[in-house]
A = this chain, B = another copy of it.
Amino acid sequence: MSGGGLRERKKARTRETILREAFRLFRERGYNATTVDQIAEAAEVSPATFFRYFPTKEDLVARDAFPPLIEALRAQPPGPPVAVLRGAFRTAFASLSAEEIAAGHAREVFATTVPELLAANLRRSPGVLREVTQILADRTGSDTDDPRIRNVVGAVFGVVAVVWLQWAQDPGMDGPAEVDMALAHLESGLSL
């Protein structure tokens, strides 16, 4: 990871500096109130350079589509779809270090706090939803647009989203554990 020439390392460091300073400023004065010029100045690069690293300001916060989930989903043993998805979430979280989860959470807090960022993230959600739906359909041998699969995916992600929202507001919460419990609840038919 630390390999590559000096150029690569400098680029990576610049990139991290920009990210770090940007999030610091976001935290201090909010996303909208922070201008690109301010971020550039704090990171000691020119505004032009900022845009060479991040095409848009939103890209600072756009995260990748949680690839571990897809991978974990493929590796799940057979079972009812909700259980399979629950297992996938569990496996995916287990594959991350505590630091990774914490970092992801910090970013997530922004993403759920600032609507513009939420939208930037959501922009790629349909793709994830489709992919998950596709995998589940393949596994169960049903059609891709089987409404039942669609409903399962919707319900699961709805539950996860709601836990996520709550986690963003209550940092003391154990997010992954809470997700698992919530999915167990869904699995058992949302009983009271």
- A interface residues (Cβ-Cβ under 8 A, vs B): 80-82, 115-116, 118-120, 122-123, 126, 129, 140, 142, 145, 147-148, 150-163, 165-166, 178, 181-182, 185-186, 189-192
Contacts and interface: CB of A to CB of B under 8 A. Distances in A.
A151 B159 contact: yes
From DSSP, what is the main secondary structure of chain A's interface residues? helix
Copies in the complex: 2
Contacts of A158: 154-159, 161
Given A122-B118, A165-B126, A182 B154 contact: yes
Nearest to A140: B192
Contacts of A156: 155, 158
A163 B149 CA distance: 11
